[in-house]
Amino acid sequence: MQGKTLTPEEELEALRARISRLQSQEAALMLEVEGLPRPGLRPGWPIRRLGEALH
């Protein structure tokens, strides 16, 4: 976002959105690499809940 200075609140919101997308990608790759059955995943599931669902 060149040319625009983000407020701390906007920066935090952007980081949380990016973290959420990365966690979704991580969950999908984890399942692909480990060959685990897919639990009923929903976008935004924290990885902690994914781990609980798999055990």
Say if residue 11's pLDDT is above 60. yes
Task: Answer whether residue 22 is part of any domain.
Answer: yes
DSSP 8-state assignment for residue 1: -
Say if residue 23's pLDDT is above 60. yes
Task: Answer whether residue 2 is part of any domain.
Answer: no
Task: Answer whether residue 3 is part of any domain.
Answer: no
Mean pLDDT for 6-28 is 93
Q: Rounded distance, CA 44 to CA 36, Å?
A: 19
Residue 50: how many other CB atoms lie within 10 Å? 19
Range of the domain at 34: 8-54
What does pTM read for this prediction? 0.52
* Number of domains, the chain: 1
